[in-house]
Chain A
Amino acid sequence: MTATGFIPIEDILQKKRRPVHRPPDQAHAHDIREELFELEAKGEIIVHRVPEPYVEVETRFGRKKKIPIEHTWHHKSCGQCGHIPGYTSSIFWLHRQFGLDYTDPIDQTSCTGWNYYASGTSNAVAQMAVMSRNFAAAYEEGYYPLIHCGTSFGHYKEVREQLIHHKDLRDQTRRVLEKLGKPLVIPEEIVHYSEWIHVMRHRIAERQVVDMSHIKACVHPACHYHKIVAEDAIYDKEIYGGQRTATITGLLQALGIEVADYSTWFDCCGFGFRHVLVQRDFTRSFAVMRKIEVMIDEAQPDVTITHDTGCVTTLDKSQFAAKAHERRVGVPVLSDAQIAALAMGAHPFRVVQLHWHSTDWRPLMEKLGIDWEYYWNEFQEDLEAIRRGEALMTWEKADGVAIQPN
């Protein structure tokens, strides 16, 4: 500084001449686990470690995230289990095909996030206690949580941040858990099933029996997967140049499916939480006008693939009323788990449960060379056997490859 208070111009030029060595791959990326481990060291929480074997993947700002391969506790989704059960059964079927150890608990509640985002009829501590109760149940069972729902995944990550940053809320939550006789457990990583599929995609492709190289798909990345806590989603420089999340697209590319881009990829599906249940004029309009019609106009996809409960429901079910209004619709909607299961030869009805989807999926099956009528008839025989009380639909019947290679 000079007497006048100004920095001499030469000092500024000198500073500008100095090269800055700051390689982006060596930049520090915030790692929330550091704060978790600090709290654990103080005896405040237990951190549930990701079990081996796991795969490390890159997140948005470069932090490496551990994705467990097995020993997983499946935190199911209300919307998937209630309205799209083939979504859930496809996730389990994939695990079973690879012979991976997992558990499907009944000591699990919903995250209750759908209701919370729809109505606000809860509070911070209740949301934290619901999450922590589920995580404690997984910890006590010795399995690592794998979250099926995109909203649960996003919600839990936001709630985890709030738990870490607000001691009052943490203390209140711990007191509630003490009443239940449970410890306050937070997993080292919060992992979405689509991240598991992402790291398994090459193993899935190795066992692909249905050729999908002539299929074109649009991808809808779920808002609560990649927006709520954006820095924790998986990114890959080889996919969209690292500018969009790599989940779903990585799988589709591995399966040989052409991923077709469209301009409104960032838009939500229109689900709206409250809207989809009681104010669907918004949901229908948005899903059709901002998603399905844009996909058709710009990409002409055979199918839309997404990775969350609400997105599958909204994009699929909204198309019927739009068709009555002569809008441009008719794109079947599946989850990444379902298309992966189909690629590996899962039964379209026993496992993928296509009959729960509204928008016509038959043209897609025909294009894939899957004789859906044959499998439908087989499934009808299953239903008859169940009606007669002769057999249940069990994994014994649903496991294994049903579709022959084409």
Chain B
Amino acid sequence: MPQQYTFGKATASYPDVPYEEKERLFREVKEDPRYEDFLYGCYECGICVSACPSARFYDYSPRVIAQTMAREDVDRFYEILAEDIWNCAQCFSCVRCPRQNNPGGLVTLIREVAVRNGIQETRDVLQGYTRVIYKVMLKGNQVSPDMLQPDFFPDWGPWVASFRGNMEIWRQAIPVDTLRGVTDAAWRTADNTLRELYTIWFETGNLDIIEEVDEGLYELLLDVMEEELEDWE
């Protein structure tokens, strides 16, 4: 039975880790060169919370993000890293901040660290999401018509089923040359363009990041990209 984290938020659904580990993760966020662009100080005025959509529906506050980072409260930081960051809608309404803080940007940096370190809660959160990662890394598009499936979008109603029955013909009936007939991507992309994109994923270490959240997906992407790049060379 893993040890439960018992202070801070009312309910914690993740195991605690040693303080030194929290400190190490905290330092990783602070060492990002963009960190200094995102946090200047906090008046505690709450304008970010008043504008935040997630604050209305979740136990979430962009002000707490800014405050926690400024105060270097590493225990609360770990709560944020394990849970809070995935509530943020990344709309950046919070950048109305009179101190020009960017709590949404801080969330992005913390998410990156959580992903890079393969934090279990992050792996869990992204489990249902990996098909998007697969699509964006291989096709250079994030969504495509063939992702619109009734099983994934039951709440969008009968339109999705009707669309599935017509997808092939509707895609043929688009006047834009780069879209016409394409169902597995948003538009037709040149092969060389995709090879350049794969090179970017390799050269920037982006592919290694995927290994931390889903080893199976990583292996699949690696195989396809390596083969494609070998043929190119």
Residues of A bordering B, CB below 8 Å: 76-83, 85, 88-89, 92-93, 104-110, 112, 114-126, 129-130, 133, 137, 154, 158, 161-162, 165-166, 168-169, 172, 175-176, 179-180, 182, 223-224, 227-228, 230, 266-268, 270-275, 277-278, 280, 282, 284-286, 290, 317, 320-321, 349-351, 353, 355-356, 358, 379, 382-383, 386-387, 392-395, 397-399
> How far apart are the CA atoms of A182 and B111 in the complex, in Å?
30
Q: Quick one: closest B residue to A79, CB to CB?
A: B143
Q: What range describes how many residues of B lie at the interface?
A: 35 or more
28 intermolecular pairs with C-beta atoms under 8 Å apart: A76-B178, A78-B141, A80-B186, A82-B145, A83-B143, A83-B148, A88-B176, A107-B192, A109-B197, A110-B136, A110-B140, A112-B140, A114-B136, A117-B108, A121-B133, A126-B200, A126-B204, A161-B37, A176-B200, A223-B91, A228-B92, A274-B125, A282-B89, A285-B57, A353-B174, A358-B156, A387-B169, A395-B175
* CB < 8 Å neighbour of A85 from B51, B56, B179: B179
Given the known interface contacts A122-B206, A125-B204, A275-B89, the answer about A358 and B159 at a Cβ–Cβ threshold of 8 Å is yes
> How far apart are the CA atoms of A264 and B32 in the complex, in Å?
35
The minimal Cβ–Cβ distance linking B145 to chain A, given in whole angstroms, is 6
Given the known interface contacts A108-B189, A179-B203, the answer about A123 and B209 at a Cβ–Cβ threshold of 8 Å is yes
Q: Does B155 contact A (CB under 8 A)?
A: yes
Mark interface residues in B1-43 (1 if CB within 8 Å of A CB, else 0). 0000000000000000000000000000000111001000000
Given the known interface contacts A126-B201, A179-B203, A228-B95, the answer about A321 and B157 at a Cβ–Cβ threshold of 8 Å is yes
> How far apart are the CA atoms of A277 and B30 in the complex, in Å?
30
The minimal Cβ–Cβ distance linking A308 to chain B, given in whole angstroms, is 11
Q: Quick one: closest A residue to B188, CB to CB?
A: A106
Question: Chain A CB within 10 Å — which of B34, B173, B175, B192 has the most?
Answer: B175
Task: Determine whether the beta carbon of A109 is less than 8 Å from that of B170.
Answer: no
Task: Determine whether the beta carbon of A227 is less than 8 Å from that of B95.
Answer: yes
- The number of A-B residue pairs with CB atoms under 8 Å apart is 253
Task: Determine whether the beta carbon of A104 is less than 8 Å from that of B178.
Answer: yes
> How far apart are the CA atoms of A392 and B133 in the complex, in Å?
33
Task: Determine whether the beta carbon of A124 is less than 8 Å from that of B33.
Answer: yes
CB-defined contacts of A397 to chain B, threshold 8 Å: 175
* CB < 8 Å neighbour of B204 from A104, A176, A230: A176
Q: Does B144 contact A (CB under 8 A)?
A: yes
Residues of B bordering A, CB below 8 Å: 32-34, 37, 51, 53-54, 56-58, 85-86, 89-93, 95-96, 105, 108, 111-112, 114-116, 125-126, 128-129, 132-133, 136, 140-145, 147-148, 153, 155-157, 159, 163, 169-180, 185-190, 192-194, 196-197, 199-201, 203-206, 209-210, 213
The minimal Cβ–Cβ distance linking B121 to chain A, given in whole angstroms, is 13
Task: Determine whether the beta carbon of A121 is less than 8 Å from that of B37.
Answer: no
Given the known interface contacts A109-B189, A110-B141, A115-B136, the answer about A270 and B112 at a Cβ–Cβ threshold of 8 Å is no
Task: Determine whether the beta carbon of B193 is less than 8 Å from that of A108.
Answer: yes
Q: Quick one: closest B residue to A113, CB to CB?
A: B142
CB-defined contacts of B129 to chain A, threshold 8 Å: 118-119, 274, 277-278
Q: Quick one: closest B residue to A395, CB to CB?
A: B175
The minimal Cβ–Cβ distance linking B205 to chain A, given in whole angstroms, is 7
> How far apart are the CA atoms of A271 and B141 in the complex, in Å?
18
CB-defined contacts of B209 to chain A, threshold 8 Å: 121-123
CB-defined contacts of B90 to chain A, threshold 8 Å: 117-118, 272-273
CB-defined contacts of B174 to chain A, threshold 8 Å: 85, 89, 353, 393
The minimal Cβ–Cβ distance linking A134 to chain B, given in whole angstroms, is 9
Q: Quick one: closest B residue to A394, CB to CB?
A: B175
* CB < 8 Å neighbour of A393 from B114, B157, B173, B196: B173
> How far apart are the CA atoms of A383 and B179 in the complex, in Å?
16
* CB < 8 Å neighbour of A107 from B89, B111, B190, B203: B190
The minimal Cβ–Cβ distance linking A133 to chain B, given in whole angstroms, is 6
The minimal Cβ–Cβ distance linking B16 to chain A, given in whole angstroms, is 22
